[in-house]
């Protein structure tokens, strides 16, 4: 069993938990993820490692409530325990001294960007982090990103905090300031990553993206997480989760992500109709 040490809500339907998992805390590297199950009969879900404390033996995860498992997870408290917590999985981010690394995090994607920014800065890079959300209430981990970066640029769709606009607007402004950019790392909703990649391709900027696809076992056996990268089939769980963004077929990936929308809505309806129902607002 994996004990929940701390829990807090970062924003509407966004939770942060520190899980007691000393082996994973010691071994994890930036860009990796875990697979968890709440109980023996629960489904497996992948969650990126947002942080870890090897001394305390804890791994920090951040999750958005979008399905039955994350809804149940949001109702758990410190002192409760998960039945399964497996990792670290996936290939770590390639960390090197590139020069100026621009990290772009949209919404919940700010969480997996955090350890990458930490590692890039520790490797001697200048790190600029562009973080964005629809509005101020949905921005997460601002203080953590400030500590992990040399500079943080905040944008919101409605202008309620930072600059009004999208992360692509902030990236274009940075590029037009003639500041050299050596690498872009983008993590967030698929449509956001698609738009970032479209821009960086035009600007000639190498770009990594971290993909969060449908995933079942996390070990490459089921094939549920397959994506097309450079015309070849790749498995996000073992070949990724990071890929050259210019090579990813985002349209195909987004179609596959919608395959089980109806079943997800049905499971949420059953949960809300149960005696211990929790009210959940689905966010896409």
On the question of pLDDT at 279 being above 60, the answer is no
- Both 48 and 100 in one domain: the answer is no
Residue 142: pLDDT band by 50, 70, 90 thresholds? Answer: very high
- Of 52, 71, 89, which marks where a domain is finished? 89
Please report whether residue 6 resides in a domain. yes
70: left (phi over 0), alpha (psi -120 to 50) or beta: alpha
Query: Residue 271: inside a domain, yes or no?
Result: no
What is the CATH number for 137? 3.40.50.80
**pLDDT, the chain, mean:** 91
Whether this model's pTM surpasses 0.85? yes
The verdict on 60 and 117 lying in the same domain is: no
With 60 as the cut, is the pLDDT of residue 7 above it?
Answer: yes
> How would residue 217 be classed by pLDDT, with cut points 50, 70 and 90?
confident
Q: Is 91 exposed, middle or buried (0-12, 13-18, 19+ CB in 10 A)?
A: middle
Same domain, 25 and 117: no
| Mean pLDDT for the stretch of residues 35-52 | 92
Question: Residue 156 falls within a domain, yes or no?
Answer: yes
Q: Do residue 26 and residue 111 come from a single domain?
A: no
Please name which of 63, 60, 58 lies closest in space to residue 74, comparing C-alpha atoms: 63
Q: Please determine, for residue 136, whether its predicted confidence score (pLDDT) is greater than 80.
A: yes
Same-domain check for residues 36 and 107: no
Please give the tally of structural domains in the chain.
2
Residue 271 confidence (pLDDT):
64
Q: Write out the residue range of the structural domain in which residue 204 sits.
A: 93-210
pLDDT at 203: 96
Query: Which of residues 177, 210, 243 is at a domain's end?
Result: 210
- The verdict on residue 47 lying in a domain is yes
The proportion of the chain whose per-residue pLDDT surpasses 70, expressed as a percent, equals: 93
| Same-domain status, 14 and 74 | yes
In the β-sheet with 58-64, what is the strand arrangement from edge to edge?
Answer: 81-82, 2-11, 14-20, 58-64, 45-53, 33-37, 84-89
CATH assignment at residue 72: 2.40.30.10
79 and 126: one domain? no
Two structure tokens written together for 204: 């000639």
Has residue 181 been placed in a domain?
A: yes
Averaged pLDDT, 188-192: 95
Q: Indicate if 105 and 203 belong to the same structural domain.
A: yes
For residue 177, give both structure tokens: 């300031």
Better-predicted residue by pLDDT, 270 or 97: 97
The pLDDT assigned to 274 comes to 61
Q: What is the pLDDT of residues 98-120, one digit of tens each?
A: 999 999 999 999 999 999 999 99
* Mean predicted confidence (pLDDT) in 62-85: 92
Residue 278: pLDDT over 50? no
Contacts 24+ apart (CB under 8 A), 19-23: 19/58, 19/59, 19/60, 19/61, 19/82, 19/85, 20/57, 20/58, 21/57, 21/58, 21/59, 21/85, 21/87, 22/54, 22/57
Does the pLDDT of residue 18 top 90, yes or no?
yes
pLDDT tens for 235-260 read: 999 999 999 999 999 999 999 988 77
Q: What is the pLDDT of residue 169?
A: 96
170 assigned to some structural domain: yes
Residue 74 sits in the same domain as residue 131: no
Strands (E) across the chain are located at 2-11, 14-20, 33-37, 45-53, 58-64, 81-82, 84-89, 100-106, 126-133, 151-156, 163-164, 183-187, 207-210, 226-229, 232-235, 242-244
**Quick check: 29 pLDDT over 60?**
yes
Query: Taking residues 87-98, what's their average pLDDT?
Result: 96
Most confident range (mean pLDDT) of 42-46, 227-231, 269-273 is 227-231
My answer on whether 79 and 101 are in the same domain is: no
Q: Say if residue 16 is in the same domain as residue 65.
A: yes
Strand partners, 227: 234
Give the Å distances, CA to CA, from 125 to 92, 117, 151, 269.
17, 9, 12, 47
Domain contains 102: yes
pLDDT at 268 exceeding the cut of 80: no
278, part of any domain: no
Give the angle subtended at the CA of 74 by the CAs of 250 and 40, to the nearest 5°.
Answer: 90
* Higher-scoring residue by pLDDT: 222, 116: 116
Q: Of the residues 171, 187, 210, which one is the last residue of a structural domain?
A: 210
């Amino acid at each position: 069993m994996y004990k929940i040490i701390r829990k807090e809500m970062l924003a509407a339907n966004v939770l942060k938990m520190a899980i007691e998992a000393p082996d994973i805390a010691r071994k994890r590297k930036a860009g990796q993820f875990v697979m968890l199950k709440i109980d023996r009969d629960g489904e497996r879900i992948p969650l990126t490692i947002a942080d870890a404390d090897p001394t305390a033996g804890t791994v920090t995860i951040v999750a958005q409530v979008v399905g039955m498992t994350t809804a149940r997870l949001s109702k758990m408290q410190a002192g409760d325990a998960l039945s399964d917590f497996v990792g670290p999985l996936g290939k770590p981010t390639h960390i090197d001294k590139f020069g100026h690394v621009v990290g772009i995090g949209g919404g919940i994607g700010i969480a997996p960007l955090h350890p990458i920014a930490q590692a890039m800065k520790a490797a001697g890079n200048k790190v600029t982090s562009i973080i964005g959300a629809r509005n101020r209430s949905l921005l997460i981990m601002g203080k953590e990103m400030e500590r992990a970066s040399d500079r943080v640029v905040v944008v919101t769709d409605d202008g309620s905090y930072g600059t009004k606009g999208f992360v692509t607007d902030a990236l274009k402004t940075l590029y037009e300031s003639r500041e050299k950019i050596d690498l872009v790392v983008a993590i967030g909703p698929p449509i956001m990553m698609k738009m970032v990649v479209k821009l960086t391709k035009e600007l000639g900027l190498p770009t990594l993206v971290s993909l969060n696809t449908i995933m079942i076992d996390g070990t490459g056996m089921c094939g549920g997480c397959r994506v097309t990268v450079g015309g070849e089939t790749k498995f996000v769980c073992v070949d990724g989760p990071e890929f050259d963004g210019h090579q990813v077929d985002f349209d195909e990936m987004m179609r596959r992500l919608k395959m089980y929308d109806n079943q997800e809505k049905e499971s949420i309806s059953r949960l809300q109709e149960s005696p211990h129902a929790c009210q959940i607002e689905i966010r896409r």
